[in-house]
Amino acid sequence: MNDRLTEAFFDKQINDVNSRYFGGVIFYKTGIPSPSHTGTGSVLGSWVSSFINPDSKYYHDNELAKRIETAFDYMLDQQHEDGTISPGWTNFHSPPDTGFLINGFAHIYHLLKEDNGPRAGELTNKVRTFLERTIPAMLTGGGHTPNHRWVLSSALAHLYAIFGKAELIERAEQWIDEGIDLTEDGEWTERSNGIYNSVSNIFLYHTARILNKPGLLDYVRKNLNMMMYLVHPDGEIVTDYSGRQDFGNTFDLSPYHLIYCLMAYHDNNPTYAAMSSWAAENLTDMGPVNNHIMLGYLMFPFIKEVKVPNSSLPTEYEIFLNKNFPIEDSLKKMGRIGHGSRIEHSSMHESFGAPIVRYRQDNESVTIMSKNASFFSLRKGSAKLLGVRLSSNFSPGIIEFDSIQVIDGGYRLKKTMEKGYNGPIQKQYLTHTEESSIWYLLPHQHRELTHNQIFNVEVELLRTDDGEWNVRLKTDKREDVLLQVEFLFDHDGSIQGDVEPIKEDSYFWKSGELSYQSRENTMSIHTGEHEHWVDNTWKVNEAGNVQTVKVNLVSPIDRVFRVICN
């Protein structure tokens, strides 16, 4: 596979010596080269792997060596004076994006250094020069997101292993001293099963290995253990509640292959071996240079010698993640910290530790979610109800439920919404300047709350003995709140029933039974309603790349939607 990828990139390298991209490889997302870990950096991972691997047909190939040389020249040319790179689509003069590269280029450096090929020496010097230039940025630079801390700590550890500067360890320790952002059940802050879990895992592994901190591997284990329950039967990862760009998109286990291999060997763990094999079934490329599978196999050849047999993976389970995580207490404490819920160039990720339920029965896969736009998803074979979400005009927008409670036969989700009015500002808080009438300069925090109103909403999710799911929606007695239930279906299927098109892939479901057919599987839901005419309840963001079926309801409500899969 790596040889095929090596060949595929040949035609994408810029050979025009007059181009500022000379030597770079066209990045599939933008049409121009990028000096990033997913761009030309990843291509170098494949090219160097082919060049130094005796099993490759490109082993010590002179033409490939020339391509590698010009690609490294491109990387050195794109490197800024401060040692960083700019990916090109976001993040300019970026320490964390440079850190991603360092983690892969360090492996390239070690592999080239040990190679006896005729061009290995000069190629080693080029990658060493790139790495050495990054040291000032790694000693002073910061990041945006929680996972960037582990990107940078691992990069610092790799640089220390090559250059031996003590200050590199000191900077890494500063990041590690913040503590590791993981729940007891294994969930990272960003709740990104498709992308950033595997990023944090592989970087903590390298940090633990190089800096002799085996305790860090406990966090890796927790996430790897959790991920066994966050994969659908077809190998697709659960991304329904991600806090990052994998939200609602399709990802598989392949980014976890290398870390599961490494930890299977380290722990002699048959479950990790089985997960690594499952991940391998979906491989179509080698991944970014920081988590490049071929580089990993060459850098850590012992993983090819794993003798532990694969264990059976769970296919029937019901697991409640973060059930005991004190999310509400943590959010209350946040108000006393002093940052005012603001962090520059990032997010507070207030959904960290939110309760999640995963249920699987052979080819049936269910996710129940709090603190998320969608609260329920269900897959049975090829039939995919990708999400169910609820919105209202009380606090205009989507309702994200705060809690999940175990009840007889299932789960209850609750949300209490409040909305009041603001009184006048007391005279002693007014400045009486020429600017005192400007709205955004007024001290609004001193306004008294008046006529505060409360609206309670509950959803009960119950699985019956004959395998159907009942979604029961209840509100309090408040009248005339407009609500809209949206059922989000995969495009790979057809919808039938009393539906009226609103626009492309969006429908009102007015009455009766709705049927969704996808290949050999059918999903039917009872019963639709159309009690008001609003097509998009207070401009809720439309879900993309799905078929959306909307049920319009007016409070008070006590209604059951029966979901039956065949």
pLDDT over threshold 70, residue 341: no
CA atoms of 199 and 202, how far apart (whole Å)? 6
pLDDT at residue 316, rounded to an integer: 94
Candidate from 82-96, 295-309, 333-347, 380-394 with smallest mean pLDDT: 333-347
pLDDT band at 242 (very low <50, low <70, confident <90, very high): confident
pLDDT band at 171 (very low <50, low <70, confident <90, very high): very high
**169 phi and psi angles, rounded to 5 deg:** -65, -40
pLDDT over threshold 80, residue 345: no
Give residue-wise pLDDT tens across range 30-76.
999 999 999 999 999 999 999 999 999 999 999 999 999 999 999 99
Residue 104 vs residues 83, 261, 397: alpha-carbon distances, Å: 16, 17, 43
The average confidence (pLDDT) of the chain is 93
CA atoms of 411 and 355, how far apart (whole Å)? 11
In the predicted model, what is the mean pLDDT of residues 299-303? 95
In the predicted model, what is the mean pLDDT of residues 237-247? 80
Task: Identify which has the larger pLDDT, 304 or 271.
Answer: 271
pLDDT at residue 144, rounded to an integer: 86
pLDDT at residue 475, rounded to an integer: 98
pLDDT at residue 434, rounded to an integer: 66
Task: Identify which has the larger pLDDT, 366 or 196.
Answer: 366
List, in order of start, the domains of the chain with CATH numbers. 1-141 (1.50.10.20), 168-322 (no CATH), 363-565 (no CATH)
In the predicted model, what is the mean pLDDT of residues 243-252? 76
pLDDT at residue 197, rounded to an integer: 93
pLDDT over threshold 70, residue 84: yes
pLDDT over threshold 90, residue 241: no
Task: Identify which has the larger pLDDT, 306 or 386.
Answer: 386
pLDDT over threshold 90, residue 414: yes
pLDDT over threshold 80, residue 539: no
Residue 548 vs residues 372, 386, 491: alpha-carbon distances, Å: 17, 10, 10
Q: Helices 270-280 and 217-227, interaxial angle, to 10°?
A: 60
pLDDT at residue 114, rounded to an integer: 96
pLDDT over threshold 90, residue 115: yes
pLDDT at residue 333, rounded to an integer: 79
- Say what percent of the chain tops pLDDT 90: 80
CB 207 within 8 A of CB 347: no
Q: Measuring CA to CA, which residue among 101, 97, 110, 285 is closest to residue 209?
A: 110
pLDDT over threshold 80, residue 343: no
pLDDT band at 245 (very low <50, low <70, confident <90, very high): low
Residue 370 identity (one-letter amino acid): S
Give residue-wise pLDDT tens across range 176-205.
999 999 999 999 988 899 988 999 999 999
Global pTM? 0.92
CA atoms of 301 and 268, how far apart (whole Å)? 16
Residue 440 vs residues 430, 436, 437: alpha-carbon distances, Å: 13, 9, 9
Task: Identify which has the larger pLDDT, 540 or 7.
Answer: 7
Token couple for 3: 């040889």
Length of the chain: 566
Q: Helices 166-176 and 196-211, interaxial angle, to 10°?
A: 130
pLDDT band at 332 (very low <50, low <70, confident <90, very high): confident
- Residue whose pair of structure tokens reads 């095929």 in the numeric block: 4
In the predicted model, what is the mean pLDDT of residues 165-182? 96
pLDDT at residue 243, rounded to an integer: 74
CA quadruple 431, 437, 440, 446: dihedral sign: positive
pLDDT band at 350 (very low <50, low <70, confident <90, very high): low
Query: Rounded to an integer, what is the distance from CA 443 to the centroid of its chain?
Result: 38
Give residue-wise pLDDT tens across range 432-490.
766 668 888 888 999 999 999 999 999 999 999 888 999 999 999 999 999 999 999 99
